[in-house]
Amino acid sequence: MSPRNGGRGTATDDSTWDAQEVISWCLDQDDPAAAFRAVSGIERTVGEPDEAQHWALPHHRRPGEPANAAAIRNARARFEQTEDLKDRAAARRHVFETHRLPSEADNPDDLLARQRERRRSLARASRWYDLRNQDGDVAELRIYDEISWWGISAEEFVRDLEQITAPEIRVAINSPGGDVFDAIAVYNALRAHPARVTTRVDSLAASAASIVVQAGDHRVMLTASQMMIHDAWGVVIGNAAEMREMADLLDMESDIIAGIYAARTGGDAEHFRALMRATTWLTAEQAVEAGLADEVVDPKPQDSLARRTLNDELAEAMGVVSGVIESAERVAALRADEGKRLSQVNRESLDELERRMEQVRALLDTPSTEDDIEREFARFVLLGADL
Distance CA(61)–CA(20), nearest Å, equals: 10
For residues 116 and 138, membership in a common domain is answered with: no
Catalytic status, residue 103: no
Whether the model clears a pTM of 0.85, i.e. scores above it, the answer is no
For residues 271 and 341, membership in a common domain is answered with: no
From 281, 297, 313, the end of a domain falls on 297
From 79, 105, 125, the end of a domain falls on 125
For residues 138 and 276, membership in a common domain is answered with: yes
From 269, 297, 325, the end of a domain falls on 297
Question: In degrees, to the nearest 5, what angle opens at C-alpha 22 toward C-alphas 18 and 28?
Answer: 145
Q: Based on the structure, what is the number of domains in the chain? A: 3
For residues 68 and 119, membership in a common domain is answered with: yes
For residues 335 and 273, membership in a common domain is answered with: no
For residues 273 and 135, membership in a common domain is answered with: yes
For residues 312 and 288, membership in a common domain is answered with: no
SS3 content of the chain, % helix, strand, coil (to 5): 55, 15, 30
For residues 16 and 89, membership in a common domain is answered with: yes
Catalytic residue among 207, 210, 225, 254: 207
Catalytic status, residue 207: yes
For residues 150 and 292, membership in a common domain is answered with: yes
- The parent domain of residue 222 ranges over 129-297
For residues 271 and 313, membership in a common domain is answered with: no
pLDDT tens by residue, the chain, 387 residues: 333 333 344 557 777 877 778 878 888 888 877 777 777 775 444 444 444 333 467 778 888 788 887 877 777 777 666 665 666 667 777 777 666 665 555 454 555 555 555 555 554 445 677 788 766 789 999 998 888 765 556 888 888 898 898 999 999 999 999 999 999 999 999 999 999 999 999 999 999 999 999 999 999 999 999 999 999 998 888 899 999 999 999 999 999 999 999 999 999 999 999 999 999 999 999 999 999 999 999 987 655 444 455 666 676 677 677 777 777 787 788 778 778 887 887 788 778 878 877 877 776 766 555 555 555 555 555 554 443
For residues 282 and 153, membership in a common domain is answered with: yes
Catalytic residue among 59, 94, 230, 254: 230
For residues 84 and 141, membership in a common domain is answered with: no
Write out 186-252 in H/E/C secondary structure: HHHHHHHCCCEEEEEEEEEEECHHHHHHCCCCEEEEECCCEEEECCCCCCCCCCHHHHHHHHHHHHH
CATH assignment of the domain containing 163: 3.90.226.10
